[in-house]
Amino acid sequence: MKDNLSIEVILQQKSLFEKPLPLEVLLGEELQYGSFEGLHLVLGKVNKQGFVAYHKDHLARGIRVTWQEEETKGIKCFLPIPTCEEEIHDLFQMVLRVLKYWTCSITMNGTLMTSNEFKNMEEETVLFNLRTLHEVSKEVLNEEKGILSLSCAMHRLCIGAKEADHFWSGTNTNEFRNWMHTLQALPAYVAEPQILSDEEDSFVAVYTIPSGVPLILTSKPELPLNYYDLKTGKPNITITSWNVRYYDPQSESVLGTASYKRFLESLPIEKTHDYDGGHIYVNELTRKELELLASLSDQHE
């Protein structure tokens, strides 16, 4: 199950003499930014779509902003929910800064409104966000829609039954905020499959498992979101096999390969930890440990 709820704010400049919107106005003094390359947020980078703004003290869902340096017509701010109350406040403060800098119209989730009307929407939005967190958590607990996959500021997180049990009730989003921040603040490499063509209309997926860094791995192999059809939500390619390659960055050498399933089964239990509803956290593996995993795979095959 993928989240599809959001707060969307569109700002269109209406001044006779249009002027570009500086990045500093959007970020203020507290927000930082980056853009995604695959599953990884590259800090301090703006891409063709714009950037993701986040607060380093409460890493949450991330505010997606469509913006370019010379933009004069308008911008769009997009915040997925559920999120934490603090990030909703970040969004409202961002928009209010723009309203001070630009003479512009404001549309929130399809409704045109005045700046005062927008200001008054923050409390209502916070309450709606909390209800949404409760509702999606109950759906996970009741096994109505499976694990909930959340696009977040740094990388994807998943709410499973264990997590949902903490989020389905309460009077604020503090516990949800702490969970999102703690997991995203962990230093780790988020493994992403490289998709390779096997034969016509057939593909293989290969995860690179490097030595020397902690890893965040999916509990079962998954395609990156850009390989899904946006309308149907179904994969637009067929994967015939899911594999890993063990890699040592220091010597720039491949130490061996294995199926993804075999790799997970071979991991020493003391190296793995619960992460969220769809991922596991793996302590850094040494070159010798990767060589052992490779040898176990050879023996098994």
**pLDDT tens, residue by residue, 46-102:** 999 999 999 999 999 999 999 998 888 999 999 999 999 999 999 999 999 999 999
Task: Please check whether residue 18 is in contact with residue 104, taking contact to mean a CB–CB distance below 8 angstroms.
Answer: no
- Are 3 and 123 found together in one domain? yes
Q: What is the average pLDDT value for the chain, to the nearest integer?
A: 91
Q: How many domains does the chain have?
A: 2
- Domain end, chosen from 185, 203, 234, is at 185
Domain of 272 in residue numbering reads as: 189-300
Per-residue pLDDT of 248-274, as tens digits, reads 999 999 999 999 999 999 999 999 999
39 — pLDDT class (breaks 50, 70, 90): confident
**In the predicted structure, residue 193 carries a pLDDT above the cut 70:** yes
| pLDDT value, residue 1 | 45
For position 180, what pLDDT does the model report? 98
Give 197's pLDDT tier (boundaries 50, 70, 90).
Answer: confident
What's the pLDDT at 92? 98
Tell whether 74 and 98 lie within a shared domain.
yes
What is the sign of the dihedral through the CA atoms of 87, 93, 95 and 97?
Answer: negative
Last residue of a domain, one of 185, 214, 240: 185
The mean pLDDT of 160-165, rounded to a whole number, is 95
Question: Across residues 153-160, what is the average pLDDT?
Answer: 94
Residues 19 and 152 grouped into a single domain: yes
Q: Do 58 and 199 fall into the same domain?
A: no
Full-model pTM: 0.90
Where b means 16+ CB within 10 Å and e means fewer, 212-243 reads: eeebbbbeebbbeeeeeeeeeeeeeeebeebb
